[in-house]
């Protein structure tokens, strides 16, 4: 297919960037892809895997001549990385990023944007609990949402080109503003990860008094529910540090619901428990 961009630079070669590369190749997009990751080990693994047409030892070299630059590093690294590459971006290029949080990321990137360079934040709503350059695969974004979070003054044709690119990678796209994005993601992704991590912590605490039985006998429910607690701790530390308001808001609502259920259990209110589970089951069954 004719490529929306002739040269794409991927900065940070983990799960998301490597999946983007394989999805680009699968699409038959005729474009040259350069890459950079901070650690030498990651860069060497990427070279061995054939990830990117060229892997550079510096971000500055990787972005030179690129039409699209995608920052796929942990949210806390977005600002410093943008500051480093800014003087090396060619006029007319588009900078994008795939961070899980938008308001803070936009605020740390925007001050470093050179004159004449476009910026279109995105968030592919797809992932696994694995990380690193060898964890990516071409179908990760298939039929998943990629949220596009452009500024009001961004040119329409620049946004449409980013949307076309993500659609070629298999995703469906939808536009959203940054605050709304951060609240939606707190509900559908951030707080579920926090609860999964917490549940493993509870099991670990109990295990100390129950001779390893919790992990040994962990049944399907615990395994399914806590799968995402195997995710990268740096990524999730940064998500909670940068999406403080929305995650605190949703955590407050979550604990309200939990306390209501705790009371129903303590008082033996089977009617309330049944009604709640019936209502929430119907909603969950509607999610494919
Ligand atoms: P990952 O841990 O698999 O990869 C991150 C990569 O960034 C690694 O190669 C690491 O070496 C590199 N890196 C870290 N700091 C760097 C720096 N200062 N300079 C250059 N490279 C650096 O992570 P991932 O899952 O691919 O996540 C990347 C981004 O995508 C994050 O912002 C995350 O919030 C977002 N995201 C993740 C998921 C998910 O489920 N994993 C989904 C959507 C979006």
For every one of its 288 residues, what pLDDT tens digit does the chain have, with 9 covering 90 and above?
Answer: 778 999 999 999 999 999 999 999 999 999 999 999 999 999 999 999 999 999 999 999 999 999 999 999 999 999 999 999 999 999 999 999 999 999 999 999 999 999 999 999 999 999 999 999 999 999 999 999 999 999 999 999 999 999 999 999 999 999 999 999 999 999 999 999 999 999 999 988 887 766 667 777 777 788 889 999 999 999 999 999 999 999 999 999 999 999 999 999 999 999 999 999 999 999 999 987
| Mutate which of 16, 46, 196 for ligand 1 pocket (most atoms within 8 A of beta carbon) | 16
Task: List the domains of the chain with CATH numbers.
Answer: 7-176 (3.40.50.720), 180-285 (1.10.3660.10)
Q: Whose CA is nearest to atom 18 of ligand 1?
A: 77
Find out whether the beta carbon of 75 lies less than 6 Å from any atom of ligand 1.
yes
β-bridge pairing 32-36 and 54-55: parallel
How far is ligand 1, taken at its centre, from the CA of residue 239, in Å? 11
Pocket test for ligand 1, best of 72, 86, 182 (most atoms within 8 A of CB): 72
The number of the ligand 1 atom at minimal distance from the alpha carbon of 124 is: 43
Tokens 């955590």, residue located:
251
How far apart are the C-alpha atoms of 136 and 143, rounded to whole Å?
Answer: 16
Cα 61 to ligand 1 centre (Å): 19
- Phi then psi for residue 8, to 5 deg, are -120, 135
Q: ipTM surpassing 0.90, yes or no?
A: yes
Say if CB 143 and CB 170 are below 8 A apart: yes
């Amino acid at each position: 297919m004719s490529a929306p961009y002739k040269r794409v630079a991927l900065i940070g070669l983990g799960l998301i960037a490597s999946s983007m590369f394989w999805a680009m190749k699968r699409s038959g997009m005729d474009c040259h892809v350069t890459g950079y990751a901070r650690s030498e080990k990651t860069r060497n693994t990427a070279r061995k895997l054939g990830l990117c047409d060229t892997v550079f030892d510096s971000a500055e070299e990787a972005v030179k001549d690129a039409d699209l630059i995608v920052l796929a590093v942990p949210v806390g690294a977005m600002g410093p990385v943008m500051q480093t590459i800014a003087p090396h971006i060619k006029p007319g290029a588009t900078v994008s990023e795939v961070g899980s949080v938008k308001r803070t990321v936009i605020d740390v990137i925007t001050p470093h944007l050179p004159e004449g360079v476009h910026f279109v934040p995105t968030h592919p709503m797809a992932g696994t609990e694995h990380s690193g350059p060898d964890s990516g695969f071409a179908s990760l974004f298939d039929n998943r949402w990629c949220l596009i979070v452009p500024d009001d003054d961004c040119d329409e044709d620049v946004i449409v080109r980013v949307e076309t690119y993500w659609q070629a990678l298999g995703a469906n796209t939808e536009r959203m503003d940054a605050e709304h994005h951060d609240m939606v993601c707190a509900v559908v992704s951030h707080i579920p990860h926090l609860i999964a991590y917490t549940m493993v912590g509870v099991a670990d605490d109990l295990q100390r008094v129950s001779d390893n039985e919790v992990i040994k006998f962990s049944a399907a429910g615990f395994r399914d529910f806590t799968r995402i607690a195997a995710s990268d701790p740096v990524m999730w530390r940064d998500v909670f540090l940068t999406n403080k308001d929305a995650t605190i808001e949703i955590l407050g609502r979550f604990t309200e619901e939990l306390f209501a259920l705790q009371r129903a259990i303590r008082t033996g209110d089977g009617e309330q428990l049944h009604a709640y589970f019936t209502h929430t089951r119907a909603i969950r069954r509607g999610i494919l």
